[in-house]
Structure 1
């Protein structure tokens, strides 16, 4: 079976400063992969390369198609759905307007998203900038789902949220895994929750993939060696 997303030997730079030195990762259809590493090790830069927001060298393919020469909007149309770090909702648009702004035809509709996040339905006419941080995160996830992606990328989706909201987000991720064929790439620091929802993990250190394995092999020794302070 060929991977839905494949990165091999990916390198990238910000001007004269090299950030990635050889990232390798694969995600199959319906699989949940954790991308781990300490702060500044290249996780968000890898996401930018996948979504074509940063130029990269090496192999980047999605469903057998070369991503490396595509602009970001064409990569998105292939089925990449990004929930960016920091949420980045359209603050002056309503909840409903945010959700339909990038909507594409498919199974994920406004009704289905508000079924997953009832609070968004209750606040459909409210300006996004007036929502709480947790509600904005739900909106960012819903907006990505409305593009009807084949791969959902969650970049620090629980960062800075209250514990009860974090658990609500994790419950949604588990539900998406159980009820859809969606592949999911998750960047997060919550190792305990990642172990419960992910199939495999890849760890980055200084812009390079240094460990890949099943979530069962993601032992305390592994996380202490590569992720611990």
Structure 2
């Protein structure tokens, strides 16, 4: 059974791989045997991760990528495939959030969030789909959405909207591309501790949020490993259009 989760011989691309969950996803895929193209705008941090992956025995390449540019997306795919071979897996992880009340949210802030989280994910998915269909190859896209695409909180209207849109985009692409043996699924993480937010969870506000989670604990990046490997591997071959929530029960809490 464990071999069905094995990614030996597969090639994966992870966007937003310079920090947080993107770094962890790249490590997880590499540990399962995949060669990994790590893509983001911050080249220095990518170089460090590439070195770490290669030190662990994985094949890896760092690729500069701004997901808001279709030209940059296509160039990143070209670079990844030239170095590692044809892609089998794409993890659409690039995302940002800007915290401001909706009444005073500037247009440019809305655009920055939605263009990264939704339009960027669309451009990456479309590029992958076009190449797989053209080559008559199967593929798996894993979109990293959020529980805020299922329920909302204040001060992050464009983030809420973009993640809800990404969930619906996942289902739309899954329906259209199933005939081509291209699977499109999504993971909705709940509150996950990363390098960017670890201090917040020690504050009174952070502790109050944790108290709203039925399991009464904050998630760790490794809690997403099972969902990621399921959707990326042969083990999830009969899954497409699925949205997996990993949140300690947060979305079923009525508080």
How high is the TM-score relative to the length of structure 1? Answer: 0.39
| Higher-helix-fraction structure | 2
Structure scoring higher RCO (CA < 8 A, sep ≥ 6) equals 1
Query: Which structure is higher in strand share?
Result: 1
TM-score, normalization by structure 2: 0.36
